[in-house]
Structure formats: structure tokens, C-alpha cells
Amino acid sequence: MVAAVRRLKDNALSLMFLIMFVLSVCGQAVAGLLDYNDRQVAAGAEPVSLPDYVASSSFTVDVAENWQSEYLQFFLFIMMTVWLVQRGSPESKEPGEEGAESDEQQRVGRYAESSSPAWARAGGLRLWVLSNSLGLVMGAVFLLSWLAQSVAGQAAYNAGRLSDLRDPVSWSAYVTSPEFWNRSLQNWQSELLAVLSMVVLSIYLRQRGSPESKPVGAPHASTGVEG
């Protein structure tokens, strides 16, 4: 029992976000269904069931377009903070530390410790994969989600065009259409603004106890210090 509670507490942050994610997706499905059926009835079509709506291109494109932008945000943040710094931000390395850093700093190869991941000691391709795994996975999920957005988006877009008595368009025409880029860019701009806000506001503002903030008493000019 004590071990179970301990396990819950050790993973509380992940569990809380997982629960909020599931509740949000369920809420989106229900709200989306009501909105979709409202438009179906107005167009002279039949309302659909929740399972049919969740399996529809309309729901899929709405989910995928948000996923791709979130993973793009984290991918860019992870990769750009390797090479770019922001003086005073706890999200940044110290100026002068730009780059992939030495093996000693990264504790890989002969500098690996007994508790380091096995691939940190391995060298070669395995070390390269481990060294870039976070960016690779975030980037891959971004690309897959964006691809899913394009496929589901084309299906939803074409259903709408046929409903309007217009010709459907090919995938290549869809991914160069204003509809596709409007969906993508409206999400990207908000994600990029959120990162910009986090990087800059965390120079001057504090949140006591949060590792995303500098300690309350840390000077504005101190960089890479997390509280």
C-alpha cells in the first residue's frame, strides 16, 4: 500500500497530465459531436453517433492539427536551445555554452557513470541515437501528426466540397490549399508565442517552487538556473 502510494506520488505529474488529457479528448469528442450534428441537420444530413464521429475525418483532423503543432513546438524548443541562448532565462543555457557540449559535460563514452544508460557508454550509432532521441521522437511524432492532419483534412475538406456541390481535390492540391495552411499556421503561431512568452517572461517573473522558474531571489540576469 505504502509502495503504491509512493509510486503514485513519484509519477504524479505524468498521471495528472494523462488524466487531464483523457478528459479533454473526451470533452472534445462530445462537444465536437454536438457541433457536427448541428451542422449535419442544417445541411439536411443525418446526425451521427459518438463512435462514428470519433472515427470521422472531421474529428481526426481537429485532433491531429493540434498534436502536430504541440510536437513541433517541443521539437523546436529542444533543438534551438542546443544552439541559441537567452540571457537571464531559466529555459536557456549560459551564454558561451552553445552547442552539443563535450563528452565530459554530457557524461558519455569514457565519462559515463555506473548509473548512466547503457547506450551512453556504447559509442557509435547507439550513442548518437540516445544523444538525439528526444528530438528525434518529437520530430517524428510532429511529422506523423502533420501527415495525419493532411490525410484526414483532405477527407473532411472533400466531404464539405461535395456537400457544397463542388469537385473534390487531390492530396497534393489540398496540402497547398489555403485551408491546410490556415489550419497549420493558426496553431503554429500560438505555440511559438507561448514559447516566446515562457523564455522571456521567466527572465523577470518567478513562480515559487516551480522548476520552470528561477528561485524567487535569483537575479534577473542569471541564466539557466531553475528553482
Partner 1 sequence: MRTPFVVPALAVLAVAGCAVDTASPVRAAERFHAAIAGRQEESACAMLARRTADKLPAPGQTCADALREAKLGPGGQPTSVSVWGDEAQVRLAGDTLFLRRFSDGWRVRAAGCRPVPDLPYECEVED
Residue ranges that bind partner 1, judged by CB under 8 A:
44-46, 55-58, 60, 64, 67, 137, 140-141, 144-145, 147-148, 151-152, 155-156, 158-159, 161-168
Query: Cβ 151 to partner 1, closest distance in Å?
Result: 4
Cβ within 8 Å of residue 204, ≥6 positions away: 88, 220
The nearer residue to partner 1, 168 or 215, going by C-beta atoms, is 168
* Closer to partner 1 by Cβ: residue 25 or 193: 25
Residue that the C-alpha cell 523577470 belongs to:
204
Alpha carbon dihedral 137, 142, 148, 150, in 10-degree steps, equals -150
Q: Whole-number minimum distance, CB 175 to partner 1, in Å?
A: 14
The nearer residue to partner 1, 49 or 207, going by C-beta atoms, is 49
Written as nine digits, the cell of 10 is: 513519484
Tell me how crowded residue 150 is: count the other CB atoms within 10 A of its CB: 21
- Smallest distance from the beta carbon of 183 to partner 1, in angstroms? 15
Spacing of C-alpha 58 from chain mean position: 21
85 in Cβ contact with 92 (< 8 Å):
yes
Q: Least CB distance from residue 193 to partner 1, whole Å?
A: 24
Cβ closer to partner 1: 48 or 225? 48
Angstrom distance (rounded) from CA 77 to CA 170 = 33
Q: Which is nearer to partner 1, 20 or 216 (CB)?
A: 20
Minimum distance from residue 25 beta carbon to partner 1 (Å): 10
